[in-house]
A and B are shown apart, each in its own frame.
Chain A
């Protein structure tokens, strides 16, 4: 079945079986292996990508359902020559060890901060509860996301005061 959608701004045109998940389509057909596949049944969050602006689990979506959509993967949130503020913040706070969950953390955090740059630590924890990390204990990830808010237009309480 032929399916066309945009991935990181580029047109993708692939012929897939209906049973192929969006995650496997990205990895195996489009060679975008930054999207990681952990549990393959919607629990771990490693495969999170952004579809039409919303963070979704790419293992719970069929490639054929992406017809006409705009998909952003972790590759679309990076540059070859420098780190984005979110990536730099993950590095600064040691928010990864093995790195397997990191693509899902980055895509989820990017979607959250784009929608809610003023989110607090509770909200970050609530949203990241859908992403499993077995290395860090999460504290450093939450700190990294909070620290990256400035790059998304966060106005701190101090800055709001005249």
Chain B
């Protein structure tokens, strides 16, 4: 369908964007890459009175890699993450997940901030932010604040963002070089929404896993951490027996819905398989 009518603003200062958003009392919408919002407009699932384009706000485009972690501005595009020279070593889980984000043309415009704000339960980046314990920095009329990913995603397309707030950047904590990780996703066609995906990492002490973080995507109303699976992994050497236990624990821990893409039973089994494969990838990666 053709898009519903709206006004358009393209502010050159972040404060102006916030002021415009606040002045429209929830009727305005921010557009970043537009790769989720424009389809929402085309389906008439969204009909804002005003679109506020962030494309002229260069301060939202930074990619900062430091000892304390990786900070990505909200307007950083998927293609910039994939083509970055050192991001892959600074947070390899993040880059592995972005390889599964949508298609070539969409990765040339879609942004990390847009994906986080859209909060599709089947999208990769909310799940990776949750699994990495990322912080989401936002600004509104009351000033800036940071929200932990754990408290940010409230449900399908629903976040803790206030109506006058804009995402500024996503901050990923430091990633030790020896950390082991895996990302696996299943979709019928490469680049389509995940029917299930798993993002996980753990550190090792004397070959035993510690501080395991296991997240799953696309099987509920928002990304979830599977603490039952993490408990299976912590303190253990990740061998075939532990991987099998983790797979069973993952399938038992989720309560997926049936929809036109897959039945609940299939999704539950798939969740286990994605965790199993991600874990095997993590365990079998060469030691540096």
Contact = CB atoms under 8 A, between A and B. Distances in A.
A48 B35 CA distance: 13
A21 B8 contact: no
Contact of A41 (B7, B43, B189): B43
Interface string B94-132: 000000001111101100000000000000000000000
B108 A55 contact: yes
Interface string A42-81: 1001001000001111011110110100000000000000
Q: Chain A contact residues (Cβ within 8 angstroms of B): what range?
A: 20 to 34
A19 B38 contact: no
- Grouping DSSP codes into helix (H, G, I), strand (E, B) and loop, the B interface class, with mixed when no group exceeds half, is loop
Contacts of A1: 8
- Grouping DSSP codes into helix (H, G, I), strand (E, B) and loop, the A interface class, with mixed when no group exceeds half, is mixed
Which of A21, A59, A62 has the most chain B CB atoms closer than 10 A to its own CB? Answer: A62
Given A41-B43, A62-B34, A19 B108 contact: no
Contacts of A62: 8, 34, 38, 51
B24 to A, nearest CB: 14
B191 A129 contact: yes
Contacts of B4: 19
Interface string A95-127: 000000000000010001000000000000111
B190 interface: yes
B53 interface: yes
A57 B43 contact: no
Given A65-B53, A129-B189, A129-B190, A42 B106 contact: yes
Contact of A55 (B34, B51, B53, B104): B104
Contacts, number: 85
A19 B190 contact: no
A54 B108 contact: yes
A72 to B, nearest CB: 13
Interface in A1-28: 1, 17-21, 24
B73 to A, nearest CB: 18
A90 B213 CA distance: 48
Contacts of B10: 64, 67
A52 to B, nearest CB: 10
A60 B104 contact: no
A137 to B, nearest CB: 14
B1 interface: yes
Which of B55, B189, B190 has the most chain A CB atoms closer than 10 A to its own CB? Answer: B190
A147 interface: no
A65 B34 CA distance: 10
A40 B103 contact: no
Contacts of B55: 65
Contacts of A64: 8, 10, 53
A127 B102 CA distance: 10
Interface string B27-64: 00000001100110111000000010101000000000
B42 A56 contact: no
Interface string B2-13: 111111101000
A20 B79 CA distance: 25
Given A18-B51, A54-B79, A60-B34, A130 B102 contact: yes
12 contacts: A18-B7, A40-B2, A41-B38, A45-B105, A60-B38, A64-B8, A108-B105, A125-B190, A126-B104, A129-B190, A130-B102, A130-B104
Given A18-B6, A130-B106, 9 more contacts: A19-B2, A19-B6, A20-B3, A21-B38, A48-B105, A56-B108, A57-B106, A61-B38, A62-B8
Interface of A: 1, 17-21, 24, 40-42, 45, 48, 54-57, 59-62, 64-65, 67, 108, 112, 125-127, 129-130
Interface of B: 1-8, 10, 34-35, 38-39, 41-43, 51, 53, 55, 79, 102-106, 108-109, 189-191
